[in-house]
């Protein structure tokens, strides 16, 4: 059985967040591939926080790489540990411009589309994070900004050309450091947790294929 193709994404900075921990997470995973040895064919991407570029970038990745698993990470100032997002909602926060000043007029991502559940093995991820001593929490609302936007595109059957069998979104808190909030997380814990998440997804993907 061929190993899975795994896409790991994070975002760059955006208004109100000049430092995005998910960019540092992706850079750490890319710069130290020993974390990912043997799990599959890995691709990492740091995406611009721009409504106009995310769909075309995902479509290009789908054409070039065709991931079996897509794990999207994003920043939430309110995240308590690794926040496991259960549902991608067909909504856009039209009052929040992106990094390029883009501000969609529509209130939904896809006309007539419905909410889409994560297909990441969230229960297994929660268990693995707990065993590793890393905090996690649950959420039914990924917000209305680019985090929910990429989550919905990654799961929506209306977005052709990018269709991982397993995909979902996970929020992380700000990085620890001077003046950081109480929920902040050290970069070492962030990378360790991401490793746990990727490994769990790869193992569950392989288990499902063997059982099929």
Catalytic residue list contains 147: yes
Helices (H) and strands (E) in the chain, counts: 5, 8
Packed helices 122-131 and 187-211: angle between N→C axes, nearest 10 degrees? 130
Contact 22, 75 (CB under 8 A): yes
From the candidates 45, 50, 72, 85, give the one annotated as an active-site residue. 85
Specify whether 201 is catalytic: no
Q: Could you give the CA distance from residue 5 to residue 8 in angstroms, rounded to a whole number?
A: 10
Residues 6+ apart with CB under 8 A from 209: 1
Q: Which of 45, 50, 147, 201 is catalytic?
A: 147
Q: Report the distance separating Cα 193 and Cα 57, nearest Å.
A: 26
Q: 181-195: b or e for each residue (b if 16 or more CB lie within 10 Å)? A: eebbbeeebbbbbbb
The token duo for 168 is: 């979902």
Please give the structure tokens belonging to residue 124: 């297994």
Candidate list 50, 171, 201, 204, residue with the active-site label:
171
- Residues marked active site are found at 85, 147, 171
């Amino acid at each position: 059985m061929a190993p899975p193709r795994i896409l790991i994404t994070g975002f760059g900075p955006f208004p109100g967040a000049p430092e995005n921990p998910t960019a540092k997470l992706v850079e750490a995973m890319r710069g130290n591939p020993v974390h990912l040895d043997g799990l599959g064919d890995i691709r990492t991407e740091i995406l611009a926080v721009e409504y106009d570029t995310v769909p075309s970038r995902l479509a290009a990745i789908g054409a070039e790489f065709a991931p079996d698993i897509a794990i999207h990470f994003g920043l939430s100032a309110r995240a308590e540990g690794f926040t496991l997002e259960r549902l991608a909602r067909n909504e856009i926060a039209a009052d929040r411009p992106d990094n390029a000043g883009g501000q969609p007029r529509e209130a939904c991502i896809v006309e007539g589309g419905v909410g889409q559940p994560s297909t990441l093995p969230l229960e297994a991820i929660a268990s693995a994070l707990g065993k590793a001593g890393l905090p996690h929490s649950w959420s039914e609302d990924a917000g209305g900004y680019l985090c929910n936007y990429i989550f919905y595109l990654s799961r929506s059957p209306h977005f052709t050309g990018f269709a991982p069998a397993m995909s979902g979104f996970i929020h992380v808190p700000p990085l620890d450091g001077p003046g950081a909030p109480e929920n902040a997380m050290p970069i070492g814990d962030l990378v360790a947790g991401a490793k746990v998440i990727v490994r769990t997804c790869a193992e569950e993907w392989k288990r499902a294929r063997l059982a099929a």
